[in-house]
Amino acid sequence: MPIPSGYDDMYAVVRRIPGGRVATYGQVAALAGRPGAARQAGYALAALPPESDVPWHRVINARGEISARRTTGPFETIQADLLRAEGVLLDDRGRVDLERFRWDPP
DNA sequence: GAATTGACGCGGC
DNA sequence: GGCCGCGCCAATT
């Protein structure tokens, strides 16, 4: 069975991330069947509209930080707020404890 | 069709 | 702990 075209795979993986958990771009890429293509994962989410049913806010970089997309806008603040609302704790630097909140895929 | 760009990850120094 | 270079794929110009 053929793989879905475009970033569909990435979106599917992100949708499987349970609330209160976070995943890294590399993790999403690997689960989508493209290990090493972390860039691809990031770009895929970047192209996602905020209206999407994909919880893109649960995806962060390997440092546990919220990646700044272009300019320091309200978006990163919103993402942090959404994560807190799910029970994910952020430290003073806006970092997530990956050892604690990293999604453990089946 | 080629070149450029874009929310990254990891190894090495 | 921070900086450098390479790899990765798709969409856009």
Q: Which pLDDT tens digit goes with each residue over A8-33?
A: 889 999 999 999 999 999 999 999 98
Minimum CA–C1' distance nucleotide for A76: B7
Average pLDDT over chain A, rounded to an integer? 85
How confident is residue A103, by pLDDT bands cut at 50, 70 and 90?
Answer: very high
From the CB of residue A23, how many other CB atoms can be counted at a distance below 10 Å? 26
Q: Position A4: which residue type?
A: P
The reported pTM is: 0.89
Does residue A71 contact residue A78 with C-beta atoms inside 8 Å? no
pLDDT at A53 over 70: yes
Return the DSSP state at A90: B
**3-class state of residue A24 by DSSP:** strand
Q: What pLDDT, on a 0 to 100 scale, did the predictor assign at position A52?
A: 86
Q: Which helix (H) or strand (E) covers residue A74, if one does?
A: helix A74-85
From the CB of residue A79, how many other CB atoms can be counted at a distance below 10 Å? 20
Separation of A7 CA and B5 C1' (Å): 17
Residue with tokens 């909140």: A101
A15 CB less than 7 Å from any atom of strand B: no
